[in-house]
């Protein structure tokens, strides 16, 4: 069975819900690892978080995370949209990741107002392609839907037809 990695950062839990749902969907076809990225130097305030994200600052993340993804046929990376882009911890992981070896990529994100959500997912897709992912599929979910498992399950099932 091929292997898949679902790796994500989540501050308040929405992206975690989506990551868990997508990992469960993948499990039917892939041996799937689900990994949460923690920021070791998390900002204490909304403005601190937004400022760091806006200026594309990276976060300090554990060295124990899987950075070498060469064992995986599919790599899915998830982030909340922060200040129109990816969260700093995801940016850090993407920079340090290696060994894509033409793995299929998935970029997924959850968002609030929607401001910058398309820009965020496009940047994530570009970063994954630059790393060597072949196809990159995307999934964007509004935060209110993250408490509706049936809705997320349907979106994940649709994405599964593409990967
Ligand atoms: C610091 C910060 C910046 C945010 N910036 C945006 C934004 O630019 N656009 C948007 O649609 N939502 C924005 N949001 C809302 C989050 O993307 C949304 O609540 C997301 O679902 C949170 O995911 P999480 O629960 O996994 O942390 C922001 C939230 C925070 C905390």
Count of CB atoms situated within 10 Å of the CB of 130? 10
Overall domain count for the chain: 1
C-alpha 14 – ligand 1 centre gap (Å):
9
Cβ of 81 below 6 Å from ligand 1: yes
For residue 73, what pLDDT is reported? 97
Distance separating alpha carbons of residues 152 and 108, to the nearest angstrom:
12
Task: Write the pLDDT tens digit of every residue in 71-121.
Answer: 999 999 999 999 999 999 999 999 999 999 989 999 999 999 999 999 999
Look at residue 44 and tell me whether its pLDDT is greater than 90: no
- pLDDT category of residue 50 using cuts at 50, 70 and 90: very high
Distance separating alpha carbons of residues 154 and 125, to the nearest angstrom:
22
Nearest-CA residue for atom 19 of ligand 1: 112
C-alpha 58 – ligand 1 centre gap (Å):
17
C-alpha 71 – ligand 1 centre gap (Å):
31
For residue 66, what pLDDT is reported? 98
Cβ of 20 below 6 Å from ligand 1: no
Question: What torsion do the CA atoms of 14, 124, 151, 72 make, to the nearest 10 degrees?
Answer: -100
Count of CB atoms situated within 10 Å of the CB of 149? 13
For residue 102, what pLDDT is reported? 84
For residue 160, what pLDDT is reported? 95
C-alpha 42 – ligand 1 centre gap (Å):
15
For the domain that residue 9 is a member of, what is the CATH number?
3.40.50.360
Element (H, E) at 53: helix 46-54
Atom of ligand 1 nearest to the CA of 113: 11
- Asked if 37 and 24 touch (Cβ cutoff 8 Å), the reply is no
- Domain range for 114 is 3-160
């Amino acid at each position: 069975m091929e292997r898949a990695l679902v790796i994500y950062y989540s501050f308040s839990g929405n992206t975690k819900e989506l990551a868990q749902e997508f990992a469960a969907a993948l499990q039917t076809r892939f041996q799937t690892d689900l990994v949460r990225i923690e920021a070791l130097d998390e900002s204490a305030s909304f403005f601190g978080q937004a400022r760091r994200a806006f200026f594309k600052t990276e976060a300090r993340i554990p060295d124990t995370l899987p950075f070498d993804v060469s064992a995986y046929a599919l790599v899915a990376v998830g982030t909340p949209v922060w200040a129109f882009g990816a969260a700093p911890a995801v940016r850090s992981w993407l920079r340090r990741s290696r060994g894509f070896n033409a793995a299929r990529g998935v970029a997924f994100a959850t968002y609030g107002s929607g401001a910058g959500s398309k820009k965020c997912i496009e940047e994530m897709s570009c970063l994954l392609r630059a790393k060597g992912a072949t196809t990159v599929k995307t999934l964007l979910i509004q935060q209110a839907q993250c408490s509706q498992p049936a809705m997320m399950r349907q979106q994940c099932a649709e994405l599964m037809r593409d990967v």
